[in-house]
């Protein structure tokens, strides 16, 4: 406890004097909680921490010198300076990462616990959170999932009275958090004075042992007080001097010294050892070199995928639908790799929103085909944790529109964990997202939002337009050691084509030239590909040879192929169903222009949806969607007017 206290005091000095930049959230005053809990954990047990997590890190066994070097942005830090104070992980000792999003780590912890449960390890996961996180949806979604599946996770809630500056009574409508959590079936709870380390240990022990025995999750609420403000710029004006004095009289270090009867000479020996360690840590951190450009850009590379064949009930060349091809691809990957899991709403008897998973629950069972509550951020975050824990989850959303509910899990965690933690973890997560219109589904069930994710480093985005690519891209996505968004155009589910070979893969970032052209090139993907084919046929009757490139991969684009065909035709049109404003067309044109400007005979153009929500009326829908006539008109303009 003294080691944590002195580390935080020294860190405050270094940050306050400008020697270390950035922000920091000090743990001083709460040491008894992390120490009391970690005293019961093995190195194989895992913890998921918070933005106020230095105490969790050190109590789990991290070295002061490498931790301080990380916070100082040095290459000798645990994450090479890329995680810093809020985002540090040391998986080698079971510390799976601190998290800068309030409540963001809770579903990840549940996913790590699922991985432990499926392996039968008898290990437990501890998820730390503050009182502010208990007001988030992640808190309740994670508790619900943990309770439903009896996951070996113990939520340790550090109630220091304030969510930043907002008092508990203002932000949480409960008498206490242990009572709140107890309403979830199968969740054991306890509430303890978090300033008394031996009391914390005594309260945590039965909850941890219960979780190890497979009897379900628990929540331990620990009341405490942070000695400093929320962050370095916080003067604590919202806390009274009287309250602060009262709580400081209950300093966990002083309570332990008095109540355990520690001798002065023992205290002096410990203090001397701690001071020597802290001094050495400061010297190590300040003398270590900072990272360079190579460090800043590393840990986004994607390793090659396994190329072995997967079991398949459909013979190569057998005609099938996209729906059935996707189902058989999932079946094959489930059979091939026991780490593959399916998660999502109504995956069982219903077979998923569009029938893709029908029959898989009966074959593989509920442990591998998991029907979830309607809590997209919760189960997507859980899938992120399961992926970090060594599994390969495939998450299905009913409609891609619902990705708006899980942006935190995807954008802040799935996309960033490997980078922030300097390659110490991987997130092999596949998200299946049915995209686009389906005649009358309306504004919240018909969107094509893929352009949002092209802006997010760390995410790959792919979209097939036929059976062969659906199989090859989905296999590649599942086998990739990084998060992949697999877009499934709704109107193409019934499309037919030959089943490819059992070892067929389509690499990320590789477009396909479907039709060679001489005058103009159409770039598209998904359910706009049939429009491009129809337009190309019409243009051919008018003497205009239009080529077609199926992009397939939107992040990354295959810019080499796209540039090569533009060198031949000098004219290009990007066609997509998403809004014309800020869509895939804008992204592709912007990326291509520096490469192809000198070869162009006309401006690169786009044909896309109007910048309006999707109307529910199928008749009105046609007025806002791109069509073959629009493509023909634009192609004629580019060839005849330039």
Tokens read off for 189: 């709870």
Q: Kindly indicate the confidence band of residue 261, based on its pLDDT and cuts at 50, 70 and 90.
A: confident
pLDDT at 574: 98
Q: What is the CA radius of gyration of the chain?
A: 28
Does 15 reside within a domain? no
The residue-averaged pLDDT of 116-121 equals 97
Which of 265, 284, 299 is the last residue in one of the domains? 265
Which of 498, 522, 545 is the last residue in one of the domains? 498
pLDDT at 470: 98
pLDDT at 596: 97
- The predicted-structure confidence for 501-515, as pLDDT tens digits, reads as follows 999 999 999 999 999
Do residues 130 and 158 touch, judged by C-beta distance below 8 A?
Answer: yes
164 vs 492: which has the higher pLDDT: 492
pLDDT over 90 at 217, yes or no: yes
The residue-averaged pLDDT of 541-550 equals 97
102: closest CA among 125, 122, 130? 130
pLDDT at 232: 80
pLDDT over 90 at 81, yes or no: yes
Q: Are residues 359 and 485 in the same domain?
A: yes
- Angle at Cα 199 formed by Cα 198 and Cα 200, nearest 5°? 90
Q: Are residues 163 and 112 in the same domain?
A: yes
The residue-averaged pLDDT of 527-544 equals 97
pLDDT at 379: 97
Q: In what order do the strands lie in the sheet with 392-396?
A: 369-371, 340-344, 392-396, 430-435, 484-489, 460-462, 553-555
Does 71 reside within a domain? no
Does 98 reside within a domain? yes
Span of 169-183, 484-498, 554-568, 624-638 with lowest mean pLDDT: 169-183
pLDDT over 90 at 244, yes or no: no
Given 445, 504, 519, 576, which residue is catalytic?
A: 445
Q: Are residues 400 and 540 in the same domain?
A: no
Q: In what order do the strands lie in the sheet with 546-550?
A: 512-515, 546-550, 520-524, 572-579, 605-609
Do residues 387 and 393 touch, judged by C-beta distance below 8 A?
Answer: yes
- The predicted-structure confidence for 454-476, as pLDDT tens digits, reads as follows 999 999 999 999 999 999 999 99
pLDDT over 90 at 6, yes or no: yes
Q: Are residues 609 and 470 in the same domain?
A: no
Q: Are residues 380 and 474 in the same domain?
A: yes
pLDDT at 236: 87
Q: Are residues 447 and 530 in the same domain?
A: no
Instruction: Annotate 201-214 with b (16+ C-beta within 10 A) or e (fewer).
Output: bebbeebbebbbee
Helices (H), 183-292: 197-212, 241-248, 252-259, 264-287
pLDDT at 137: 94
Parent domain of 438: 319-498
* β-bridge pairing 430-435 and 520-524: unpaired
The residue-averaged pLDDT of 237-263 equals 91
Q: Are residues 542 and 437 in the same domain?
A: no
Given 376, 396, 577, 621, which residue is catalytic?
A: 376
> Is 376 assigned a catalytic role?
yes
- The predicted-structure confidence for 341-359, as pLDDT tens digits, reads as follows 999 999 988 999 999 999 9
Helices (H), 337-445: 360-364, 376-388, 407, 417-420
pLDDT at 4: 98
Do residues 305 and 474 touch, judged by C-beta distance below 8 A?
Answer: no
The residue-averaged pLDDT of 352-368 equals 95
Q: Are residues 130 and 243 in the same domain?
A: yes
Q: Are residues 485 and 529 in the same domain?
A: no
Q: Kindly indicate the confidence band of residue 250, based on its pLDDT and cuts at 50, 70 and 90.
A: very high
- The predicted-structure confidence for 40-71, as pLDDT tens digits, reads as follows 999 999 999 999 999 999 999 999 999 999 99
The residue-averaged pLDDT of 262-269 equals 92
Residue with tokens 């159409």: 522
Q: Are residues 331 and 395 in the same domain?
A: yes
Collapsed DSSP state (helix, strand, coil) of residue 445: coil
pLDDT over 90 at 450, yes or no: yes
pLDDT at 314: 94
Q: Kindly indicate the confidence band of residue 437, based on its pLDDT and cuts at 50, 70 and 90.
A: confident
> Is 445 assigned a catalytic role?
yes
Residue 212 maps to which CATH number?
Answer: 3.40.50.970
Q: Are residues 441 and 578 in the same domain?
A: no
Residue 543 maps to which CATH number?
Answer: 3.40.50.920
- From CA 573, how far away is CA 584, in angstroms rounded? 12
Does 309 reside within a domain? no
- From CA 122, how far away is CA 43, in angstroms rounded? 13
pLDDT at 175: 86
Q: Is the pTM of this model over 0.85?
A: yes
Which of 224, 245, 265 is the last residue in one of the domains? 265
Does 83 reside within a domain? no
Does 8 reside within a domain? no
Do residues 569 and 522 touch, judged by C-beta distance below 8 A?
Answer: no
Averaged pLDDT of the chain: 96
Q: Are residues 489 and 534 in the same domain?
A: no
pLDDT at 636: 97
237 vs 382: which has the higher pLDDT: 382
Q: Kindly indicate the confidence band of residue 233, based on its pLDDT and cuts at 50, 70 and 90.
A: confident
Does 507 reside within a domain? no
Does 14 reside within a domain? no
CB-neighbour burial class of residue 158 (10 A; exposed 0-12, middle 13-18, buried 19+): buried
| Domain total in the chain | 3
């Amino acid at each position: 406890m003294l080691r944590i206290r002195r580390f935080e005091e020294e860190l405050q000095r270094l940050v306050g004097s400008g020697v270390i930049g950035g922000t920091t959230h000090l743990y001083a005053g709460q040491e008894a909680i992390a120490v009391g809990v970690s005293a019961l954990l093995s190195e194989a047990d895992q913890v998921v921490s918070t933005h106020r997590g230095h105490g969790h890190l050190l109590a789990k066994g991290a070295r002061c010198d490498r931790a301080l070097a990380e916070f100082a942005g040095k290459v000798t830090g645990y994450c090479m300076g890329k995680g810093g104070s809020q985002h540090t992980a040391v998986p080698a000792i079971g510390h799976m990462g601190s998290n800068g999003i309030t409540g963001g780590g809770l579903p990840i912890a549940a996913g790590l616990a699922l991985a432990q449960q499926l392996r039968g390890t008898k290990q437990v996961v501890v998820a730390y959170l503050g009182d502010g996180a208990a007001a988030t949806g992640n808190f309740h979604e994670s508790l619900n999932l943990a309770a439903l599946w009896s996951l070996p996770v113990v939520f340790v809630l550090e109630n220091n009275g304030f969510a930043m500056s907002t008092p508990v009574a203002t932000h949480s409508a409960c008498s206490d958090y242990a009572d709140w959590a107890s309403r979830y079936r199968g969740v054991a709870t306890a509430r303890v004075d978090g300033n008394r380390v031996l009391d914390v240990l005594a309260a945590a022990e039965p909850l941890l042992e219960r979780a190890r025995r497979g009897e379900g999750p628990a929540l331990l609420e620990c009341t405490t007080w942070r000695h400093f403000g929320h962050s370095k710029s916080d003067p604590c004006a919202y806390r009274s001097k009287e309250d602060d004095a009262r709580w400081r009289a209950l300093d966990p270090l002083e309570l332990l010294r008095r109540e355990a009867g520690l001798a002065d000479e023992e205290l002096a020996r410990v203090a001397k050892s701690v001071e020597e360690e802290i001094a050495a840590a400061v010297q190590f951190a300040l003398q270590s070199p900072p990272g360079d450009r190579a460090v800043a850009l590393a840990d986004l590379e994607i390793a090659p995928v396994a190329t072995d064949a997967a079991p398949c009930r459909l013979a190569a060349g057998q005609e099938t639908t996209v729906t059935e091809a996707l189902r058989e691809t999932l079946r094959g990957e489930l059979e091939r790799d026991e780490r593959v899991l399916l998660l999502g709403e109504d995956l069982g008897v219903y077979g998923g929103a569009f029938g893709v998973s029908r029959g898989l629950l009966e074959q593989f069972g509920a442990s591998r085909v998991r029907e979830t509550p309607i809590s997209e951020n919760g189960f997507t975050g859980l899938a992120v944790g399961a992926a970090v824990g060594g599994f390969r989850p495939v998450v299905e959303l009913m409609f891609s529109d619902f990705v708006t509910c899980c942006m935190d899990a995807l954008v802040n965690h799935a996309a960033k964990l490997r980078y922030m933690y300097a390659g110490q973890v991987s997130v092999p997560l596949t998200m299946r997202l049915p995209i686009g219109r389906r005649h009358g589904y309306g504004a919240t069930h018909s969107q094509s939002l893929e352009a949002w994710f092209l802006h997010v480093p760390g995410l790959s985005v792919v979209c097939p337009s036929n059976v062969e690519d659906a199989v090859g891209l989905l296999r590649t996505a599942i086998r990739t050691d990084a998060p992949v968004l697999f877009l499934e155009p709704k109107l193409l589910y019934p499309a037919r084509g030959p089943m490819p070979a059992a070892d067929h893969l389509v690499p990320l970032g590789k477009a396909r030239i479907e039709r060679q052209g001489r005058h103009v090139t159409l770039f598209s993907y998904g359910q706009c590909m049939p429009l491009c084919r129809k337009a190309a046929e019409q243009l051919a009757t008018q003497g205009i040879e239009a080529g077609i490139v199926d992009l397939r991969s939107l992040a990354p684009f295959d810019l080499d192929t796209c540039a090569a065909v533009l060198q031949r035709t000098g004219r290009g049109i990007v066609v997509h169903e998403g809004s014309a404003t800020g869509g895939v067309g804008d992204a592709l044109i912007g990326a291509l222009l520096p490469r192809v400007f000198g070869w162009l005979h006309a401006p690169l153009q786009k044909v896309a949806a109007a910048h309006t929500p999707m109307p529910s009326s199928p008749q009105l829908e046609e007025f806002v969607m791109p069509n073959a006539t629009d493509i023909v008109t634009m192609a004629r303009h580019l060839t005849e007017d330039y």
